[in-house]
Amino acid sequence: MRLGRGCPAIAGVVAALCVASAVLLVGGAKGDEPVTQLSNGFTARHSPDASAPFEPVLYAPNGVFAFGFLRVGEASLDLAVVHLASSFPLWRATPARVGDWSRPATLTFDTGLVLTGPDAGVLWRTLNIVGDTVVLLNSSNLVVQRFARPNAAWQSFDNPSDTLVLDQNFTVSSPPLISKNRRFALKLSKTYMALHMEFYAGRVRPIYWQHTALEAQPENATQPPVYGRLDGRGFFGLYLEGGGEKVDVLSFDTFVQNLTGAFRRMTLEDDGNLRAYYWTYDAKAWTSDFKAISAPCELPASCGAYGLCVPGAGEAQCQCLTNSTRTSLPCSAEETTDLCGGDDDDSHQMFDVVRRKRVSVAYKEHLPFETNKTAEECEQACAANCTCWGAVYNGGSGYCYFVNFPVETTVYEADDRKVGYFKVRKPQSSRRGAMSRGAAAVTAALSLILASLVVAGAYIGYRLWERRRRRRRAAGYPGMEQELTSGPYKDLKSMGSSNNSFKS
């Protein structure tokens, strides 16, 4: 089954046409009708030879959404809530240990939802909950419920992956939105929302875009935090928790068009941009009507590691920061480890240096900085710090900005006073001969010890040989001259006369 093209725009009982690829075991019998509720004890098995990228096991009553097994990339297995008409995953479980699509997997509902691999190892589960049923609401919210309690024991709306949908609250306590490539995150703080780059498995998260609620009061310690919600009228609203007072609005292109009947989503995409889309069954396609970052050069990784983005009247152009004549991308492999692996005094041996004029970064207002610096002082401050990967200096203002994470896309600016200093990690082969002072000292000490042992061994050997020679002489054995010439030999003159080549 191929969703999107293989399945028409789903409405009502038409969804039953798309059930064929799902293997359902509910009460020991295969379900011939769309399943809209899972009861405790439910089991479904993924078919490793399934040709369709999505195997649904649960449908929303309106037939627009389904929950089931999803193939991600070439061969990875995940659980997802999918918008059937477009085949777009609105929510994914994103297990910490990735499953293999080519091997069987099992989804069970006991105390919670659990996905296990063929070795019975748990790939993903809903933690610390007890539920009686699982339903997929018409809003696309996957909910684990208790019979005796009105509130959900667990719901996907509280655990977003990379997408928010209509009327889904995004709060300070919500997990951040994480792009599919795991490189970018959207987080909500008390008075603002921000986009972050992800480095070193999330240990470093520099901001590259931020939007502060206009009417929020950061200095008011008693004010509740804000939360965000996507509105069907065409905006993303920020509200105060508790009373629901609106403090800011991010308006979309369709805000003034009174567009009704459209389904909306907001997704953090793999290029690091936050975009909003709407879907209408007339157009049968997602239409973009909002993006947080409009200029390509303002995206943090538009040209990749050590790339240089050159704005233009048309599309932006990418060059390589390390070589202005090179246009093939990527310019350098993405860095995954920091520069502080060795002794601080010798950390400079791990990298080469690139200096470039007319360069800056788009998000410098979010970087740590120092003022009243010269270009040389700015460079020296970064060079002496192994956590610093680069520094950009504005000669007009005297501001020095530090890039304390692997260098991504930089931006060309036609101003000679704007200069950059960047560290580029040396290839492993070129660093094999270099060593820290500590390692050099150890090596020198070992070499001295080895040399001393060689000298001592030679001396002892000579003394033993000399003692043995004296004993042989005292016992009446021939001298060394006789010992070395014990056999007959020819006269050197006769040897010379027999070899014409030595004659004058």
DSSP string covering 72-133: ETTTEEEEEEEETTTTEEEEE---SS-EETTS--EEEESSSEEEE-TTS-EEEE--S---SE
For residues 114, 134, 127, 204, the Cα torsion angle rounded to the nearest 10 degrees is: 90
Poorest-confidence range of 186-200, 231-245, 302-316, 381-395?
A: 302-316
The residues near 248 (Cβ < 8 Å, ≥ 6 apart) are: 211, 212, 213, 214, 215, 216, 226, 237, 238
The confidence score (pLDDT) of residue 471 equals: 65
Residue 482 pLDDT grade (very low, low, confident, very high; cuts 50, 70, 90) = very low
The confidence score (pLDDT) of residue 19 equals: 34
Degrees, nearest 5: CA angle 59-60-64: 95
**Higher local confidence (pLDDT), 167 or 485:** 167
Q: What is the mean pLDDT of residues 38-67?
A: 94
Separation of alpha carbons 157 and 164, rounded Å: 8
> Residue 202 pLDDT more than 80?
yes
Q: What is the mean pLDDT of residues 314-341?
A: 81
The confidence score (pLDDT) of residue 282 equals: 83
Q: What is the mean pLDDT of residues 33-49?
A: 92
The confidence score (pLDDT) of residue 243 equals: 86
The confidence score (pLDDT) of residue 347 equals: 52
**Higher local confidence (pLDDT), 4 or 225:** 225
Q: Which tokens hold the place of 237?
A: 């609203």
Residue 342 pLDDT grade (very low, low, confident, very high; cuts 50, 70, 90) = low
The confidence score (pLDDT) of residue 3 equals: 35
The confidence score (pLDDT) of residue 443 equals: 56
> Residue 403 pLDDT more than 80?
yes
Residue 468 pLDDT grade (very low, low, confident, very high; cuts 50, 70, 90) = low
Calculate the average pLDDT of the chain.
82
| Distance set, CA 257 to CA 215, 238, 262, 276 (Å) | 25, 21, 12, 16
Residue 502 pLDDT grade (very low, low, confident, very high; cuts 50, 70, 90) = very low
The confidence score (pLDDT) of residue 416 equals: 95
Range 298-431 has CATH code 3.10.20.30: no
Express as a percent the part of the chain with pLDDT over 90.
58
Q: What is the mean pLDDT of residues 82-95?
A: 96
Poorest-confidence range of 118-127, 137-146, 424-433, 482-491?
A: 482-491
Residue 232 CA, chain-centre distance (Å), reads 32
Q: Do domains 1-149 and 160-294 have the same CATH topology?
A: yes
Residue 4 pLDDT grade (very low, low, confident, very high; cuts 50, 70, 90) = very low
> Residue 407 pLDDT more than 70?
yes
The confidence score (pLDDT) of residue 149 equals: 82
Separation of alpha carbons 354 and 362, rounded Å: 19
Separation of alpha carbons 122 and 387, rounded Å: 37
382 closest CA partner among 358, 398, 405, 409:
405
Q: What is the mean pLDDT of residues 50-69?
A: 95
Q: What is the mean pLDDT of residues 92-112?
A: 90
- 76 neighbors 100 (Cβ within 8 angstroms): yes
**Higher local confidence (pLDDT), 504 or 406:** 406
The confidence score (pLDDT) of residue 71 equals: 94
378 closest CA partner among 366, 368, 392, 364:
392
Q: pTM, whole model, 2 decimals?
A: 0.78
> Residue 498 pLDDT more than 50?
no
For 476, half-sphere exposure in the C-beta direction (CA atoms, 13 angstrom radius) is 0
> Residue 469 pLDDT more than 70?
no
The confidence score (pLDDT) of residue 286 equals: 96
The one-character DSSP state at 166 is B
The confidence score (pLDDT) of residue 256 equals: 87
| Distance set, CA 315 to CA 236, 295, 306 (Å) | 28, 9, 19
The residues near 245 (Cβ < 8 Å, ≥ 6 apart) are: 239
Domain boundaries, the chain: 1-149, 160-294, 298-431
- 241 neighbors 213 (Cβ within 8 angstroms): no
> Residue 5 pLDDT more than 70?
no
> Residue 20 pLDDT more than 50?
no
- 205 neighbors 195 (Cβ within 8 angstroms): no
Q: How do residues 266-318 score in pLDDT, each as one tens digit?
A: 999 999 999 999 998 887 899 999 999 999 999 999 999 999 999 987 788 99
Identify residue 397 by its one-letter amino acid code: S
Residue 446 pLDDT grade (very low, low, confident, very high; cuts 50, 70, 90) = low
> First and final CA of the chain: distance in angstroms?
98
> Residue 12 pLDDT more than 90?
no
Separation of alpha carbons 370 and 355, rounded Å: 19
Q: Could you tell me the maximum CA-CA distance found in the chain, to the nearest angstrom? A: 123
Separation of alpha carbons 471 and 256, rounded Å: 115
> What is the CATH superfamily name and number for domain 160-294?
Bulb-type lectin domain (2.90.10.10)
Considering the segment(s) 1-149 as one domain, its CATH architecture is Orthogonal Prism (2.90)
The confidence score (pLDDT) of residue 32 equals: 65
